[in-house]
């Protein structure tokens, strides 16, 4: 059973004991009459047919409150596309699939690039952005939920607790971020534990209680891939195409919504999915690449908030981060010992050393080009520049699904 402590800038909705799932789903069916719900699943073709996705599909069969399911398929050739369509055809909700690497969709991406509205390279961020465009084009839903396709511990409760705060007609939330524990026989979530929180607190120790830093540090798991939002916000936010999708999305929500309309919801007792390699020697892969993109995202947002970033600050932040990380290692070692978990101290130390280099790389990249951004234009701007684009997107998806 979790605590009921409120962490600060946004509301925290806890999981206080076992969930009455039938009650939640009955309520959601009622709410969905006024607020139809779309589920977006960003999926790589490698995930189709895996044990995790088979289990997710089995759970989704029993979900009756969804108006539509939109699945973005990345990395698929024509054979993979047919495989994906066959796999998702088993769902009674009859999902709509987007062939992001198909020739018709590639023509649409080219059209955007020609209009100087490039959606960037393929990846989860562009996948989610394109799926959001289809939700807007189809005009069936008034809110959208997103979760990954590699969740090993998935169950219907996760989706219900993710949708409920935004779907509820009285609670007043426009955006909900999921959070959860990530524990097996050891503590997982290294980037969150050993990079994000120590780095945010290092900045706070130097800059002070800046609203953006306080807001980000309020979230218990800002790297969670699960979130839901009102469809009006879908139109306004800009989505990063790089590995900083989750923290970049939180920054966009901070910019586009009042804190009282934002919440985080505890989705499940425990959560597990595929794990990335650290890739300590390769800054273009694994957690190392993720850490660089996340640190750059923080720096871009802080600059946009008017915080002066210079070489002296970066040097100070590195020292403050290392102090925060050292304390964090001790805290988690104690937590693991109390709960009888393994604590691979050497691996944790290596991760911190890698993240120091990641922060240095991010700082250099920011100084070399402080105006660079991986943010895709929001859908309001796309509609303004290319008024027929959503109609064309809807038609391309229809043709690909025939």
Q: What is the mean pLDDT of the chain?
A: 95
Question: 2 falls in which pLDDT band (50, 70, 90)?
Answer: low
End-to-end CA distance of the chain, in Å?
48
Interhelix angle 197-207/286-304, nearest 10 degrees: 30
- The CA distance from 327 to 333, in Å, is 10
Q: Are 246 and 156 in contact (CB under 8 A)?
A: no
- The CA distance from 368 to 19, in Å, is 50
| pLDDT at site 164 | 98
- The CA distance from 280 to 288, in Å, is 6
CATH class of 11-400: alpha beta
| pLDDT at site 273 | 78
Angle at 147 between CA 383 and CA 32, to 5 degrees: 70
| pLDDT at site 280 | 79
Indicate if the pLDDT at residue 155 is higher than 80. Answer: yes
Question: 278 falls in which pLDDT band (50, 70, 90)?
Answer: confident
| Sheet containing 262-266: order of strands | 11-13, 262-266, 175-179, 227-230, 143-146, 37-44, 66-74, 96-99
Q: Are 250 and 257 in contact (CB under 8 A)?
A: no
Indicate if the pLDDT at residue 275 is higher than 80. Answer: no
Q: Are 190 and 287 in contact (CB under 8 A)?
A: yes
At 80, list the tokens.
């993979």
Question: 269 falls in which pLDDT band (50, 70, 90)?
Answer: confident
Helices (H) and strands (E) in the chain, counts: 16, 8
The mean pLDDT of 387-393, rounded to a whole number, is 97
Which residue ranges make up each domain of the chain? 11-400
Interhelix angle 78-88/51-60, nearest 10 degrees: 40
Collapsed DSSP state (helix, strand, coil) of residue 6 = coil
Indicate if the pLDDT at residue 76 is higher than 80. Answer: yes
b/e string for 131-166 if b means 16 or more Cβ within 10 A? Answer: bbbbbbbbebbbbbbbbbbbbeebbbbbbbbbbbbb
Residue 319: C-alpha distances to residues 203, 262, 366 (Å): 11, 33, 19
Q: Number of C-alpha atoms within 13 angstroms, CB side, residue 164? A: 23
Residue in 223, 197, 186 with CA at minimum distance from that of residue 352: 197
- The CA distance from 167 to 158, in Å, is 15
- 171-229 residue pLDDT tens: 999 999 999 989 889 999 999 999 999 999 999 999 999 999 999 999 999 999 999 99
- 292-334 residue pLDDT tens: 999 999 999 999 999 999 999 999 999 999 999 999 999 999 9
- The CA distance from 350 to 352, in Å, is 5
- The CA distance from 141 to 133, in Å, is 12
């Amino acid at each position: 059973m979790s605590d009921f402590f409120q962490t600060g800038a946004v509301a925290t909705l806890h999981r206080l004991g076992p969930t009455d799932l039938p009650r939640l789903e009955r309520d959601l069916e009622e709410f969905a009459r006024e607020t139809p719900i779309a589920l977006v699943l960003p999926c790589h073709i490698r995930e189709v047919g895996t044990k995790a996705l088979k289990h997710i599909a089995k759970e989704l069969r029993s979900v009756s409150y969804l108006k539509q399911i939109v699945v973005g398929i990345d990395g698929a050739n024509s054979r993979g596309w047919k495989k994906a369509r066959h796999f998702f055809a088993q769902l009674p909700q009859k999902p709509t699939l987007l062939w992001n690497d198909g020739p018709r969709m590639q023509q649409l991406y080219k059209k955007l690039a020609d209009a100087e509205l490039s959606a960037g390279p393929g990846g989860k961020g562009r996948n989610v952005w394109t799926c959001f465009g289809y939700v807007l084009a189809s005009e069936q839903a008034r809110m959208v939920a997103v979760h990954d396709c590699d969740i090993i511990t998935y169950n219907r409760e996760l989706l219900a607790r993710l949708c409920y705060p935004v779907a509820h007609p009285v609670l007043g939330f426009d955006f909900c971020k999921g959070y959860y524990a990530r524990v097996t026989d050891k503590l997982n979530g290294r980037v969150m534990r050993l990079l994000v929180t120590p780095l945010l607190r290092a900045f706070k120790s130097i800059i002070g209680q800046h609203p953006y830093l306080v807001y980000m540090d309020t979230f218990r798991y800002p790297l969670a891939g699960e979130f839901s939002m009102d469809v009006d916000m879908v139109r306004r936010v800009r989505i990063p195409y790089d590995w900083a999708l989750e923290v970049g999305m939180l920054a966009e929500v901070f910019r586009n919504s009042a804190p009282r309309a934002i919440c985080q919801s505890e989705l499940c007792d425990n959560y597990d999915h595929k794990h990335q390699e650290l890739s300590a020697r390769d800054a273009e892969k694994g957690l190392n690449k993720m850490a660089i993109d996340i640190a750059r995202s923080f720096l871009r947002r802080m600059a946009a908030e008017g915080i002066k970033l210079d070489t002296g600050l970066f040097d100070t932040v590195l020292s403050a981060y290392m102090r925060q990380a050292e304390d964090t290692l001790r805290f988690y070692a104690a937590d693991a010992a109390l709960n009888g978990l393994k604590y691979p101290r050497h691996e944790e130390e290596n991760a911190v050393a890698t993240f120091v280099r990641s922060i240095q790389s991010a700082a250099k990249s920011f100084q070399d080009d402080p105006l660079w951004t991986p943010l895709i234009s929001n859908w309001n701007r796309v509609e303004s520049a290319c008024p027929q684009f959503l109609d064309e997107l809807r038609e391309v998806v229809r043709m690909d699904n025939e």
